[in-house]
Amino acid sequence: MPAPTHSPVTAMLSTPSRPRVAVIGGGPAGLMAAEVLAAGGAEVELFDAMPSLGRKFLLAGVGGMNITHAEPKNTFIPRYGTRAHEIGALLAEFDADALRAWIRGLGIDTFVGSSGRVFPIDMKAAPLLRAWLRRLREAGVLLHTRSRWLGWSADGQLRLRTAAGEQTLRVDACVLALGGGSWARLGSDGAWVPLLEAPGIRVAPLVPSNCGFEVAGWSSLFADKFAGAPVKPVAIRLGDHAPRQGEFVITAQGVEGSLIYALSAAIREQITREGRALLHLDLLPNRSREQVLAALSKPRGSRSMARHLAGIGIDGVRAGLLRELTDAATFQDLPRLGAAIKALPLELLRPRPLDEAISSAGGVPFEALDEQLMLRQLPGVFCAGEMLDWEAPTGGYLLTACFASGRAAGLGALAWLKARATP
């Protein structure tokens, strides 16, 4: 496929009746593209660099395979932030309900948990993946592992490094579903970025999303005692954003967990702009500031301040945070102490490394693609999944968009091939 000097697939339509299409990447987006292409009559070969397919998908299922979310669309779509419009268009064709129906077609039922998250009935990813791979093989899709994409040869063929050495492959179209830049050991290593930049595709830098963040440094006493401890319930306010309630976890370097992940894009952007992000923690989110101050002001008699605070719910890691992030004088001034309990400042300096993140932002911008997810500069080359420039919080949103974009890229490739084959 593409050499830097010309478009990859332009002169390659060798078998109009049954075009040959390569899918690069064996995660949910690539597998979905392969299924759609095979159902549309294409001869499909899928290649993945890892020894087995769907490795990150399987890891995501450890502890419970959260496949999508059951919340209404008017809440669901905005989860995609600045890319809500583009992802919303994909989900208009394949939404959470369609995904659940598709899973049911594999013989696996789903259920909605108390939080609205949707899970396979057995909570596991492996049975779903096994059933899916079996269906793909039955549809004639050829699945190749240990086959890393190396870009394109000078005459526009795909270059692949396999166990048998480097090979080239002439195809009529291809779908790239190479993942983002997190969890390199599972295959999402971002090695594809320079391969697309070589023929002139602008790729937004891959950055951590759904990630932990570092503080300037906990005291050794606090870190030793509370690293790994969950803080819940707690509310977090970041700048002008509305407070969000949930939980997070103390780490040796800072903080992580679902509430931090939900705010990770905004935290990362503030750090980029200002060199830091300042959060305010509400340690007692179910009490007003007035109620907290009233409780603090009750006579404590011979009780220590620690026991007095424990009586209103400030104990364990909450008490540790309050001590860690305030000075001694605050504990002598009850109004200041009450204000700190309701708005405890926590400064974050940097995200944890990309390879530790659950997902990544950055990648191929939608502006580089047409409405069928084909690269405008490289006709016949389609992109899908996390390698596109979007992000979303955990909760099933990431997987839903990966499935939907894989389907859209597969359909887009079929439509493009049909148009080229029509006299």
Q: What is the DSSP string of 24-35?
A: E--SHHHHHHHH
Q: What is the DSSP letter of 395?
A: T
Distance CA(28)–CA(409), nearest Å, equals 12
Integer Cα distance of 203 and 365 in angstroms:
7
Mean pLDDT of 256-267: 95
Q: At residue 232, what is the residue type?
A: K
pLDDT above 50 for 69: yes
Alpha-carbon distance of 92 to 401, in angstroms, equals 11
Domain ranges of the chain: 20-209+359-421, 213-351
Asked if residue 357 lies in contact with residue 210, where contact means CB atoms within 8 angstroms, the answer is: yes
Q: What is the mean pLDDT of residues 59-87?
A: 93
For residues 197 and 370, the answer to whether their CB atoms sit within 8 Å is: no
The pLDDT tens digits of the residues spanning 302-330 come to: 889 999 999 999 999 999 999 999 999 99
Residue that has been written with the tokens 């993945």 in this structure: 48
- Residue 11 is predicted with a pLDDT of 34
What torsion do the CA atoms of 261, 263, 266, 268 make, to the nearest 10 degrees? -30
Per-residue confidence at 13, pLDDT binned at 50, 70, 90? very low
CATH superfamily of 20-209+359-421: FAD/NAD(P)-binding domain (3.50.50.60)
- This prediction's pTM: 0.90
Q: Of 56-65, 233-242, 321-330, which gets the smallest average pLDDT?
A: 56-65
Tokens of 30: 């690539």
- Res 384: pLDDT: 98
Mean pLDDT, all residues of the chain: 93
pLDDT per residue as tens digits for the range 392-401: 999 999 999 9
Hey, which bits of 136-274 come out as E strands? Answer: 142-144, 148-152, 158-162, 165-169, 173-176, 204-209, 213-214, 230-238, 244-250, 254-256
Q: Kindly report which listed range (63-67, 88-92, 325-329) carries the lowest average pLDDT score.
A: 63-67
Q: By CB neighbour count within 10 A (0-12 exposed, 13-18 middle, 19+ buried), where does 93 fall?
A: exposed
pLDDT of residue 286: 95
pLDDT by residue (tens digit) across 406-420? Answer: 999 999 999 999 999
* Per-residue pLDDT at 10 exceeds 50: no
The pLDDT assigned to 14 comes to 43
**55-78: average pLDDT:** 91
Tell me 210's DSSP state. S
pLDDT class of 1 with cuts at 50, 70, 90: very low
What integer is the mean pLDDT of 61-85?
93
Provide mean pLDDT across the span 72-87. Answer: 96
The whole-angstrom separation of Cα 57 and Cα 80 is: 20
In the predicted structure, residue 125 carries a pLDDT above the cut 60: yes
Compute the distance between CA of residue 281 and CA of residue 265 in angstroms, rounded to an integer.
18
